[in-house]
Structure formats: C-alpha cells, structure tokens
Structure 1
C-alpha cells in the first residue's frame, strides 16, 4: 500500500521530501483542530474563574434563615440596628448613615462590585444594573423638590453612590422640578427627562418623569443582553428578560387597579418584552380589570404565581399581593438560572439576586420594627 502511494506521488512529480512536508502539515493542522476543540470549554470557563471565586466568598456572608429569624425577633429598631452593626458587611456603613440609607448603599455597592469583576462579554449588562442607583437618586430628588422639602432634607434622601451623584448633589438647591431636568442635560438621563417634562407640566404629576426613567432603564437592560450568542449570555438574557416582563406586569396591574385605559398605560410600557411579546402586552393593557389581566396570562410562566395570588387579592383588595408574588417568582427563577452554569455566569447572578433579596427583607423588617407591637409572624409572611 505504501509503495502504491509513493508511486502515485512520484507519477505526479512529488518527491519524497515534499510528501513528508505535506504529512507534517497535515499532522499540525489535525493537532491544532484537536487542541482548539479540547481547549474551548476551558477558554469559556477561564474568564469566570476569578469573578466566581470572589462572588462565592461573598455569598458565604449572606444571612441564612436562622440569622433572618434572629433579626425578626429583635424587639425594636434600635436592637435591629445593633444586630446589623455586629455584621462586618454592614458595620462600617451603619457608623456613618441611618439604617435605610446604609441598606441602599449596600445595594449600590453590590451592583458596582458586580460591574467591576464580571468578564468583558457581559459587563455592559451589569453596568446598566448599577445605574439603578442614579435613577433612584433622580427620583428622590424630583420627589423632594415636588414636595417642597428643604435642601438638607433633600440631600439626606440621596444615596452617596452612582456615577451621577456629584451632579445630583449640586442640584439639591434647584428651584423646581424643571430646574433639575435642565441640570441633568449633560447626563444620559437628560433627553429622557426632557421628553417627559411636558407631560409632567400638563398633569403636575412626577409619575411621568419616573416612568420615563424606568422605561429607559429597562430598554437599556434589554439592549445590553440581546445577543445570546452562548450559554452564559442566554442565561443573562433570561435573567434580564424576566425582570422586564415582571416590571411590565406590575405596571399593568397597578394601572388596571386605578382604572387606567390602554392610552394611559401604553407610553410607559416596554413593548419588546421577553416571554410577553408586544401582542400579548397589548391584550393585557386592553383588559377590563385586574382579574382579566390575570386570566389573560394563561399559558405563560407567570400564570400560576399570579393565579394563586388572586385568592388573596379577592380577600384583601390589595394589588401588593401580586407584586409580592412576582417578586418571589423572580427570586425563584433567578435561583434556577444560577444553577445552570456553575462555572460561568450562574454564581454571579445568583449572588446579586440574593443580596437584593436580603436588603429588601431587611428594609421590610426595619419598617416593621418602627411600629410598636408589630407581630413577628406577620413580618415573616411579608418577607420574600
């Protein structure tokens, strides 16, 4: 066989030396292909190794169920604060700020931490997440100005974090809401607020400005994750998309409770959702009431959670039961997503979600502890 191959090459004018060169090249090419195929999984994992390790270290410091129960059992807000001061993650910030602001700072620092450590391929999404701090600060500034609070009272509401904090701090003494909007002209939020300003001036309600900010944030979040090219980014897209759907659902349910029409709601909706596409959102916005919104979700992954909440809504008449159900659904969804890529994005989104939930629960407990005699059993029911 070897003689026949050699004769074939010789008849084609190919010498033994050239033949050997072809053989070597073939071996190199095949070897390169094998190396690429075998190393691809390692290359996919490598960018996440350091971020995952740092996140796992922080996850170990999150409160467990026993600690949450101990916090719920504290007698009042002072005992609650003293408990947190014994926890290193909260101790330093509580030395300088009241508890509510300290919790907001912890949340802002969590977003900033994630945005700094994640791999480049998913960084833009976490940078957008960190903008929640700026948006919360803008909302606080607008609300304070509308309510006529003093400069000192207004500044106290601001979270000393975020990329626009210095600009917002300088606007504490603005004359009115329009002055704040003008002062934010140089920021990425300027155009959004300017477009919504006429609606505010027409209605006298800052809801138009707040809703415009929320819509801008969700649009930015979707754009930052809309190319699910690999499994990590597919998980990221599900993580972001579910949040967008839930924000839309909360808005629709609130609007229907207030008897608002499709035309009232539509300007504030993010039409391109995740599972809830434009046609479905249109149907929900045109629903007659809250009950019809919930029944209209049949066939979606949100149906079961909200159908169960419908019974409590009928008993209490409070739409907050739907919001709580959606918050719980989001936590469970992210928990499931976080297990799908344990050597990738999973631990990162898991940690961010768990930290958000921890802070939300601490805020719930703090509010309850300010009310004398508030039942601990009721607090436990309110936790996410």
Structure 2
C-alpha cells in the first residue's frame, strides 16, 4: 500500500515535501470545518446564556397561584399594599409611589430591563416594547392638559422611565395641547401627533392622538421582527404579531359593541396584522355586530377561543369576556413560545409575558378591593 502511494506521488511530479504540506493543509481545513459545524450550536446559544440566567432569577420572584389567592382573599386595599410591601419586587416602588403608579413603574422597569439585556439579533423588538412607556407618558400629558390639570397633578401621572421622560416632564406646564405637540416635534412621535392635530382641532376630542400613538407603536412592533431569519426571530415575530392581532381585535369588538361602522373604526386600526391581514380586518370592521366579528374569524386561531366566550357575552352583554379571553390566549401563546426555545429567546419572552400578566392581575385586585364587599369569586373570574 505504501509503495502504491509513493508511486502515485511520483506520478504527480511534486516533491515529497510539497505533498506533505498539502496533506497537512487538507487536514487543517477539514478540522476547521468540523470545528465550525460542531461549535455552531454553541455560538447560537451563547448570546442567550446570561440574559436567560438573569430573567430566570427574576422569574423566581413572580407571584404563584397561592400568593395571588392570598391577595384576592385580603380584606381591603390596605392589606393588598402591605402584602406587596413585603415583596422584594414591589417594596422599593411602593416606598416612593401610590399603588397604581408603583405598578406602572414596575411595568416600565421590566420593559427597560428586558430591552437592555436582549441579545443583538432580537433586541429591536424589545426596544420597541419599551417605547410603550414614552407613549403612555405622552398620552397622560395630553389627557391631563385636556382635563385642565395643574403642573403637579400632571407630573404625578407620568412614569419616571423611558427615553423621553425628561422632555415629557418639562412639557407639563405647556399652555395647551398644540404646545405639547410642538414640544415633541424633534421626537420620533412628531409625525403621528402632527397628523392627529387637525382632527383634534376639528372635534375637540383627544382620541385621534391616542389612536395615532397606538398605531405608530403597533406598526413599529410588527416591523421590528418582520424578517424572521432564524428560529429566535421567528418566535419573536409570532409573539409580537399576536400582540398586534389581539390589540386590533379588542378595538374592533369594542367598537362593534358601540355600534360603530367601518368608516368610524378604520382610522384607529393598524390595517396590517400578523394572522389577520388587511382584507380580513376590513371584513371584521364591516361586520354588523359583535357576533358577526366572531363568526368572521372562522379559519383563524382566534376563532375557537372567542366562540367559547360568545355564549357568556350573550348572557351578560359585556365585551370584557372577549378581552380577558384574548389576554389569556396571548399569555398561553407566550408560554408555548418560551418552551419552544428554552436555550434562546424563550425565557425572555416567558418572563416578560408573565410579568405583564402579574401586573394586570394586581391592578384588577387593587381596583376590586377599593369597592366595599366586592365578591372574591368575581375577582377570580376577572383574573388572567
């Protein structure tokens, strides 16, 4: 065998040393390819190791069913506040703010935390989610000015988070809403607010501002992950896309409950969704009533869960059952996605969704406990 190899080398006409060098190079190249192939999964996982560890640590501080049950069973709002002051996750905020604002502060802090730790390839979507704080602060500023609140009362409504907090806070002493819009003319929200200003001036209603900001947010959110190049981005796209669909559905259902037609609804809908595309949204907005919206969802993943809620709506006439059902669906969808990619973006989505749900539930409990004799069973029905 050795003689045959030697004869082959001789027939090529290359010096033995050159052949040895070529062989070594071939071995190195093959080895490098093997290393790249075998290390690729590790390289994909590596950016998520630290973020996953950090969100899992915070996840351990989330309230479990037993703790939520204890809050539901509390006698009044004072007991709720005292209970939360014993939680390391809420104690600091409750030292500085009333309960409702403390919950909003913790929500804003959570978005900020996740946006900062998310790996580069999925960071855009979480950064957009964190913009919700600025948007809510702008809304609060406009609402306060519309209600004629003073500077201190207005600033009490603002959440001390977000990239524009200082700017928004400085506008609390503006003379009118037009001045607020002018004061935000260098921000990314300028175009949305300027487009809504004529409608406000015509109607005297601030709804166009709220709708313009919501549409801007949802559009940016959907666009932040619309090129799902790998599994992590596919999961993000599914999560944010479902959030957009849920927001659109809530608005359409509530509008149909109020008897609004397509022309009245369409300015407030983001007419590009995830599963609900523009033509489907148009069909839903043209439905005659709430039942028509639900039947129009046939063939989508939202149909089955909302059909089950339709009978309760027919009994009590409240669209709140649909909103709660959609919130539960979104939370369950996030849980599924979290389990799908436990060594990637999954834990981040799972924690964020669970924290959102926890804060919503705490707000429900707080509102209920402010009403004397509010039934515990009714609170449980309202929780997500």
Q: Given the two structures, how large is their TM-score scaled by the length of structure 2?
A: 0.97
Distance in 1 separating the partners of 2:204 and 2:367 = 29
Count, aligned residues: 384
For 1:157, the equivalent position in structure 2 comes to 157
For 1:371, the equivalent position in structure 2 comes to 371
1:339-358 per-residue CA deviation (whole Å, 9 max, x = no partner) reads: 01111111111001111111
Task: Confirm whether residue 146 of structure 1 aligns to residue 168 of structure 2.
Answer: no
Task: Confirm whether residue 135 of structure 1 aligns to residue 135 of structure 2.
Answer: yes
For 2:43, the equivalent position in structure 1 comes to 43
Secondary structure of 2:173's partner? coil
1:147-199 per-residue CA deviation (whole Å, 9 max, x = no partner) reads: 12222221111111111111111111111111111111111111110011111
Return 282-291 or 11-20, whichever deviates more.
11-20
Distance in 2 separating the partners of 1:373 and 1:320 = 21
For 1:11, the equivalent position in structure 2 comes to 11
- CA deviation after TM superposition for structure 1 residue 287, in Å: 1.5
- CA deviation after TM superposition for structure 1 residue 260, in Å: 2.1
Secondary structure of 1:381's partner? helix
Distance in 2 separating the partners of 1:263 and 1:15 = 84
Distance in 2 separating the partners of 1:377 and 1:113 = 35
For 1:98, the equivalent position in structure 2 comes to 98
Distance in 2 separating the partners of 1:4 and 1:198 = 89
For 1:314, the equivalent position in structure 2 comes to 314
Distance in 1 separating the partners of 2:77 and 2:256 = 36
For 2:67, the equivalent position in structure 1 comes to 67
Distance in 2 separating the partners of 1:135 and 1:305 = 30
Distance in 2 separating the partners of 1:281 and 1:5 = 72
For 1:240, the equivalent position in structure 2 comes to 240
Secondary structure of 2:340's partner? coil
Distance in 1 separating the partners of 2:375 and 2:254 = 28
Secondary structure of 1:54's partner? helix
Task: Confirm whether residue 115 of structure 1 aligns to residue 103 of structure 2.
Answer: no
Secondary structure of 1:323's partner? helix
Q: What pairs up with 1:187-206 in 2 under 5 angstroms? A: 187-206=187-206
- CA deviation after TM superposition for structure 1 residue 366, in Å: 0.5
For 1:293, the equivalent position in structure 2 comes to 293
- CA deviation after TM superposition for structure 1 residue 211, in Å: 0.6
- CA deviation after TM superposition for structure 1 residue 299, in Å: 1.0
- CA deviation after TM superposition for structure 1 residue 263, in Å: 2.3
Distance in 2 separating the partners of 1:269 and 1:368 = 31
Task: Confirm whether residue 125 of structure 1 aligns to residue 125 of structure 2.
Answer: yes
1:116-164 per-residue CA deviation (whole Å, 9 max, x = no partner) reads: 1111111111111111111111111111111122222211111111111
Secondary structure of 1:338's partner? helix
Distance in 1 separating the partners of 2:108 and 2:161 = 7
For 1:225, the equivalent position in structure 2 comes to 225
Secondary structure of 1:144's partner? helix
Distance in 2 separating the partners of 1:292 and 1:276 = 16
Distance in 2 separating the partners of 1:155 and 1:360 = 23
Distance in 2 separating the partners of 1:60 and 1:200 = 46
Distance in 1 separating the partners of 2:315 and 2:2 = 88
Distance in 2 separating the partners of 1:200 and 1:333 = 37
For 1:209, the equivalent position in structure 2 comes to 209
For 1:269, the equivalent position in structure 2 comes to 269
Secondary structure of 2:89's partner? helix
Unpaired runs of 5+ residues, structure 2, are none
Q: What pairs up with 1:272-351 in 2 under 5 angstroms? A: 272-351=272-351
Return 258-267 or 174-183, whichever deviates more.
258-267
**TM-align CA RMSD:** 1.2
Distance in 1 separating the partners of 2:282 and 2:5 = 71
Task: Confirm whether residue 173 of structure 1 aligns to residue 164 of structure 2.
Answer: no
1:220-244 per-residue CA deviation (whole Å, 9 max, x = no partner) reads: 1112111211111111111111001
Distance in 1 separating the partners of 2:18 and 2:169 = 75
- CA deviation after TM superposition for structure 1 residue 2, in Å: 4.9
